[in-house]
Amino acid sequence: MSDKRDIALARKGRITALVIAGTALFWIAATFVGGQLELSQRVRALFDLIALAGFILAIVMIFQIWRARQNSKG
């Protein structure tokens, strides 16, 4: 049973890493494109808020992984 739990936690960790990397790439691309296309500050702020939501999601996922590991210890 522990092996299944470890595999699930490892999978969730990989997904979390992909969320962080994807959010960072989106943020960099959105900042670059916003500057090149001279988008308004409101649109750029929207992209920033979307990226912030992605990073908050990643923090929640990290907390869930941490809690699952704490529960599996005892």
Give the pLDDT score at 3.
86
pLDDT tens for each residue of 22-44: 999 999 999 999 999 999 999 99
Mean pLDDT of 14-27: 98
pLDDT tens for each residue of 41-54: 999 999 999 999 99
Distance, C-alpha 10 to centroid of its chain? 16
Show Cβ contacts of residue 48 under 8 Å, excluding neighbours closer than 6 positions: 27
Diameter over CA atoms, the chain: 55
pTM, 2 dp: 0.90
Domain that holds residue 11: 2-73
Give me 66's structure tokens.
């941490």
Percent of the chain past pLDDT 70, that is, above it, reads 97
Q: What angle do CA 63, 66, 70 make, to 5 degrees?
A: 135
